[in-house]
């Protein structure tokens, strides 16, 4: 049983908008939630490298190829910062990666959808990085200091990704030929709904929301963030001349927001459960890279040990 | 100087770096550890940047309506003049590192000479690229040592890798008519003249890594004349896919 006085002091501290740091006392539940959430975020960055990496070798120009490599490389960097943020909570990166590889840990379901055309690369940058930004801007104010700081750093790069994605969409949907326009619309149709699903279950169905809001781990509800994303994205889609694949979408004068149709929660739940188009493939790919890299990591450790011994001998 | 010789010279430089960058970028998302995904992507980006600069220069010289992308991404296989080593599949991490080590150790020496070229573009290109390639060589050297002197498994994989790529090195050090003409005119580099310094460097690093330097003299060639390995067609099929599927489209 945790000390009631400590819990109260913690809550007051958080309520006063102070940041919790690694060495501060924190409730077990707070620590557990953060580890789960930051690890999921880290895994999402790493798994997210795969659908986009899928088009590096086929990027249509030298410039697009370079931008895409550097984007996917940024995501690897985000994974690293986030694993480090998790380590401040006492969980090692290796242990986290084991959980990803065994299928025990979750990552963002969006990356279980396939990238079947070049336009998907534009749509991901625009919509998926766009949705990530909405979520992460909110998380910049999360109560855990190392996570909050990682978000500030990551958001800058994500907004770069979002602009580059949108730029791809402009080239295709606005300035492209008929085939490119079709490619853009088809990609938009594929990614629109999964992007809305990125914000998670609706508030009425969200399991951990209440306590996470009280601890200020989460600062806005799933539905609030989703609405923000829709309001931001619809005018961008209109500018591109794309049709939003939702017959219920319309501007609501009285709320000042766009109304939109019901998300297919059956699809959402199936993908979360592992039945999305690419869940198995993504995990297999990560596992393959990990297994094939085992000898490299072992060699690096063996070499580092030898070097230490050599230095010890020469110092003696 | 002869335009033909100069353009061929540029094209080889651009194709070497593009094709190697293309290969290296295949590691992105699949490396043995995240730090290496980042490092190899960095190196791939440098190569693609270097090749882009050279293709642009070439496009302005040739002035036939093709831009850098058209030159880089729409030629027939027999028109690519990269050394064969660049197009070989990545293999395991040791093989990728062996190629990185072989190529960067050669390339750095090459650029250090090219820096003195009487040609303004090439001298500037070399000056700028040296900084990048120094890092590439450092990265590859670190890994040659770790893998060569790591575990028994890594040692044998690394030895296997350096042996396997050895027969593709000769092409890098061969001066053909184009190279000889360029040297004669004072703007090109003699590749053969780099051999001694290169051999000394490699001997020292391999000795430290516990690797045996292969000694076979015979080597594969043909890349400079557009005659490639069976792997090249697949590499180009991927790399050129969108340019070929949508001719003339802008991206
Ligand atoms: Fe990211
Ligand atoms: Fe992210
Ligand atoms: Fe991103």
| Nearest-CB residue to A293 (from B31, B45, B249) | B31
Structure tokens at B81: 């003049």
At B122-134, the pLDDT tens digits run: 999 999 999 999 9
* Interface touch B251/A296, C-beta < 8 Å: no
Q: Number of residue pairs across A and B with CB atoms under 8 Å? A: 143
Q: Confidence class of residue A210 from pLDDT cuts 50, 70 and 90? A: confident
% pLDDT > 90, chain A = 95
DSSP-derived secondary structure letter, A251 = E
% pLDDT > 70, chain A = 99
Q: What is the 3-state secondary structure (H, E, C) of B183-238?
A: HHCCCCCCCHHHHHHHHHHHHHHHHHHCCCCCCCCCCCCCHHHCCCCCHHHHHHHH
Question: Which chain A residue has its CA at the smallest distance from B39's CA?
Answer: A73
* Interface touch A79/B34, C-beta < 8 Å: yes
Q: Residue A251 — φ and ψ, nearest 5°?
A: -70, 135
What string of DSSP letters covers B147-186? HHTS-HHHHHHHHHHHHHHGGGTHHHH---HHHHHHHHTT
Q: Which of A128, A131, A109, A108 is nearest to A120 (CA)?
A: A128
Tell me which residues of chain B, numbers 50 to 109, contact chain A at a CB-CB cutoff of 8 Å: 51-52, 55, 68-69, 72-73, 92-94
Q: Residue A245 — φ and ψ, nearest 5°?
A: -80, 55
pLDDT tens per residue, chain B (251 residues)? 579 999 999 999 999 999 999 999 999 999 999 999 999 999 999 999 999 999 999 999 999 999 999 999 999 999 999 999 999 999 999 999 999 999 999 999 999 999 999 999 999 999 999 999 999 999 999 999 999 999 999 999 999 999 999 999 999 999 999 999 999 999 999 999 999 999 999 999 999 999 999 999 899 999 999 999 999 999 999 999 999 999 999 99
Q: What is the pTM of this model?
A: 0.96
Q: What is the ipTM of this complex?
A: 0.97
Output the pLDDT for position A3.
87
At B4-38, the pLDDT tens digits run: 999 999 999 999 999 999 999 999 999 999 999 99
| Nearest-CB residue to B250 (from A69, A175, A306) | A175
């Amino acid at each position: 049983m945790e000390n009631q006085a400590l819990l109260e002091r913690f809550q007051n501290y958080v309520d006063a908008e102070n940041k919790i740091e690694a060495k501060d006392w924190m409730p077990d539940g707070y620590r557990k939630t953060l580890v789960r959430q930051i690890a999921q975020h880290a895994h999402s960055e790493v798994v997210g490298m795969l659908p986009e990496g899928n088009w590096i070798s086929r990027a249509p120009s030298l410039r697009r190829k370079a931008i895409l490599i550097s984007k996917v490389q940024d995501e690897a960097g985000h994974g690293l910062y986030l694993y480090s943020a998790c380590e401040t909570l006492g969980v090692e990166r290796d242990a986290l990666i084991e959980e990803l590889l065994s299928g025990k840990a979750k990552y963002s379901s969006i990356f279980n959808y396939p990238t079947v055309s070049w336009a998907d690369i534009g749509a991901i940058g625009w919509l998926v990085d766009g949705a990530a930004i909405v979520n992460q801007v909110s998380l910049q104010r999360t109560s855990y200091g190392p996570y909050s700081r990682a978000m500030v750093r990551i958001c800058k790069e994500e907004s770069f990704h979002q602009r580059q994605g949108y730029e791809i969409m402009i080239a295709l949907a606005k300035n492209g030929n008929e085939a490119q326009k079709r490619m853009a619309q088809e990609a938009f149709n594929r990614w629109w709904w999964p992007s809305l699903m990125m914000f998670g279950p609706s508030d009425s169905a969200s399991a951990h929301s209440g306590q996470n809001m009280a601890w200020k781990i989460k600062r806005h509800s799933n539905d609030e963030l989703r609405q923000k994303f829709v309001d931001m994205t619809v005018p961008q889609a209109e500018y591109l001349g794309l049709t939003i694949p939702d017959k219920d979408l319309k501007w609501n004068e009285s709320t000042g927001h766009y109304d939109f149709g019901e998300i297919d929660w059956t699809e959402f739940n199936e993908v979360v459960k592992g039945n999305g188009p690419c869940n198995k493939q993504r995990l297999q790919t990560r596992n393959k890279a990990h297994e094939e890299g085992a000898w490299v990591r072992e060699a690096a450790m063996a070499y580092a040990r030898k070097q230490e011994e050599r230095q010890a001998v020469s110092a003696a | 100087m002869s335009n033909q010789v100069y353009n061929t010279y540029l094209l080889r430089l651009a194709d070497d770096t593009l094709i190697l960058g293309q290969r290296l970028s295949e590691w992105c998302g699949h490396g043995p550890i995240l730090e290496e995904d980042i490092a190899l992507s960095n190196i791939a980006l440098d190569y693609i940047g270097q090749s882009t600069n050279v293709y642009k220069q070439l496009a302005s010289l040739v002035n036939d309506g093709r831009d850098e992308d058209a030159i880089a991404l729409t030629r027939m296989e027999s028109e690519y003049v990269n050394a064969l080593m660049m197009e070989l599949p990545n293999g395991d991490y040791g093989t990728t590192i062996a190629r990185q080590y072989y190529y960067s150790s050669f390339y750095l020496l090459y650029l250090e000479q090219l820096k003195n070229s009487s040609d303004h573009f090439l001298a500037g290109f070399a000056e700028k690229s040296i900084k990048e390639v120094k890092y590439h060589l450092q990265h590859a050297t670190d890994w040659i040592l770790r893998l060569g002197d790591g575990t028994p498994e890594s040692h044998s994989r690394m030895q296997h890798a350096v042996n396997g790529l050895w027969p593709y090195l000769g092409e890098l050090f061969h001066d053909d008519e184009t190279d000889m003409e360029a040297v004669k005119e004072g703007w090109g580099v003699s590749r053969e003249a780099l051999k001694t310094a290169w051999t000394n460097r490699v001997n020292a690093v391999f000795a430290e890594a516990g690797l045996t330097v292969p000694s076979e003299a015979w080597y594969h060639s043909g890349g400079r004349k557009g005659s490639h390995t069976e792997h090249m067609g697949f590499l180009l099929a991927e790399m050129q896919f969108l340019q070929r599927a949508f001719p003339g489209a802008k991206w």
